[in-house]
Structure 1
Amino acid sequence: MTTPTPPTRSQVRRWRQYLADERAEAAAYRDLASRRSGEERDILLALAEAERRHEQHWLDLLGDDVGKPLRGDFRTRVLGWLARRFGSVFVLALAQRAEARSSYDDDVDATARMAADERIHEEVVRGLAIRGRNRISGTFRAAVFGANDGLVSNLALVLGIGASGVASGTVLLTGLAGLLAGALSMGAGEYVSVRSQRELLEASRPGPQARAALPHLDVDANELALVYRARGMAPQDAAEHARTVLTSLEELAGRALVLPDLSSDEPAAPSHPGEAAASSEAVDEPDEHETIGTAVGAAVASFCFFASGAAIPVLPYLLGATGWTAVAWSTGLVGVALLGTGAVVGLLSGTSPAKRALRQLAIGWGAAAATYLLGLTFGTTVA
């Protein structure tokens, strides 16, 4: 009988680190679950249980070499700390990135099932994060766009005017005017945009009169099929689906009747007629209105964040800085703010925060440099 080859020190160190990471990730999912309820809580607990199975794999391999428990890597510990204190969509976005970094695909000591689990875990967390992103996307979009527009446009304005050689007081007045005008414009524009989009969505929804008319339709004439055809279904499919809905009325007598989701080109076929009328309730799709946000919320967020962003390049002038000193401070402060907003966008979207931060910085400084050079062209020197 062949004696198993003892693991090398390198293997033991790697296995122990994997064990620590799995324990930390399981704890993070449990902490996230403690701040959730219902289905989301059950899903997060199921992920924690899956990480426990992975943990057992490394315990079996280590045997007597398990040693003193190690700490998870830095990013996993940060994830756990955030999960215990916040439990927000940003934490889920970090968890999504953590699952994407799994090295089990390339590790001979990890099983193919474990590698597959990690890939599926990434998609599960992505699905949970999408719910949170949908809930905040309207206001978040207005906030990010507002802050970046304030930062870039007012920095460009301040540097362009400053480079023309006017007095610092004039630069300050111009910056404050740009702050107020831009914030009012952004707020008003965001309100009109979101309000119009919500009205367009509302106009596309089935009217309440259609629901009330369903019980009185002629099954043989099948007028409901025209609705489905108008929504893009093929004539034969529309007729069959409409007939299924109408013939289910007897079974649904005494129950509240809900018109199916007519915006779908190919609604799922019900397993029995009684499910047809209620099929729209069985599909957990994000509400378009929830994704867009409210017009007032978007307008207020846009106004406030534009103003906060536009105040940053003006701040050195408010504090009495002049000339190149003010220019350097304005550019540096805006650069830090652009890095921050870019990193937040990257984090929330599940992509690299560093790349998004550098992209924001390059765009912002590029626009400001263009106006600064324009001011130098038509002016004399920095005042």
Structure 2
Amino acid sequence: MRSSNRHIERHRTERIGWLRAAVLGANDGIVSTASLVVGVAAAGASHGSILLTGVAGLVAGAMSMAAGEYVSVHSQADTEDADLSRERAELEANPLAEQRELAAIYVDRGLEPALARQVAEQLMAHDAIGAHGRDELGISEAHVARPVQAAFASCASFAAGALLPMAVAAAAPATQVIPWTAGMSLAFLALLGGVAARAGGASVLAGAWRVFFWGALAMAITAGVGRLFGTVV
């Protein structure tokens, strides 16, 4: 038996779909739940009311993230399916014109015209719709829309992220809910930003700073609103 000498590579773009949804969900879970807890605490609510509000925010936020991600990604999938259906019809109606179109794309990318025609012919003989989907429409396996996967990743990661500030708020003394929740949540956000940046091949420090800054801003504004309305009431 001959062994395969094919070189297998794994690229970070292969994880872009689930990584984006998971990071967005966890980040939103931490920020929104921590901001909600801090805002309600700043309004003078009891410890029990703070925790009840946080649990309600966790459940509502997880469901909202799942539904929103599913609808959004499904719209992308519908658009991709419509484009591919149109491309199939064009391939059936005039395959030679589609072959010339594909060859022109390869010429624009730097191939000689004769070689471009040969490549287009062979790729279309192997998988015509795959070649046009990838090289004409820009639809690849790594970036194809997966609504269910994105919805599940967003829901699960939001709940996991929201549980962190909830656990801190539950364990913190009633008079120290705001500093404990805000401080630990910012630490969680910085860690999440750094891990996500490393997984995506970006700067860990920049990734951590981005989520830290926006998380601190969100909590500060929510605390200010809670204090204002708590005083008015």
Native 8 Å contact 1:194 1:292 kept in 2: no
Per the alignment, residue 76 of structure 2 pairs with: 197
Greater Rg by CA: 1
Pairwise mapping of residues 243-258 of structure 1 onto structure 2 (< 5 A)?
none
Native 8 Å contact 1:146 1:186 kept in 2: yes
Per the alignment, residue 313 of structure 1 pairs with: 165
Per the alignment, residue 115 of structure 2 pairs with: 271
* Aligned-partner Cα distance in 2 for 1:334–1:165: 20
State percent identity of aligned pairs. 34
**Per-residue deviation, residues 341-373 of structure 1 (Å, max 9, x unmatched):** 110232134332022212211110111011112
Indicate whether 1:337 and 2:217 are aligned.
no
* Aligned-partner Cα distance in 1 for 2:192–2:216: 14
Q: Which has the higher contact order (CA 8 A, sep 6+)?
A: 2
User: Which of these residues, 143, 161, 168, is aligned with residue 40 of structure 2?
Assistant: 161
**Per-residue deviation, residues 287-312 of structure 1 (Å, max 9, x unmatched):** 43531441111000000111111111
Counterpart residue identity of residue 369, structure 1: A
User: Which of these residues, 194, 200, 208, is aligned with residue 88 of structure 2?
Assistant: 208
* Aligned-partner Cα distance in 2 for 1:153–1:184: 14
Native 8 Å contact 1:313 1:334 kept in 2: yes
Native 8 Å contact 2:80 2:139 kept in 1: no
* Aligned-partner Cα distance in 1 for 2:22–2:199: 13
**1:333: Cα distance to partner?**
2.2
TM-score by length of 1: 0.50
Per the alignment, residue 143 of structure 2 pairs with: 291
Matched residues, number: 216
* Aligned-partner Cα distance in 2 for 1:314–1:195: 31
**1:156: Cα distance to partner?**
0.8
**1:321: Cα distance to partner?**
3.3
**1:379: Cα distance to partner?**
1.9
The alignment partner of 1:359 has SS state of helix
Pairwise mapping of residues 1-383 of structure 1 onto structure 2 (< 5 A)?
38-40=6-8, 132-205=11-84, 206-214=86-94, 224=97, 241=100, 260=102, 266=108, 268=111, 269-271=113-115, 274-279=118-123, 287-319=139-171, 321-324=173-176, 326-380=177-231
* Aligned-partner Cα distance in 2 for 1:314–1:266: 55
**Per-residue deviation, residues 32-58 of structure 1 (Å, max 9, x unmatched):** xxxxx7223xxxxxxxxxxxxxxxxxx
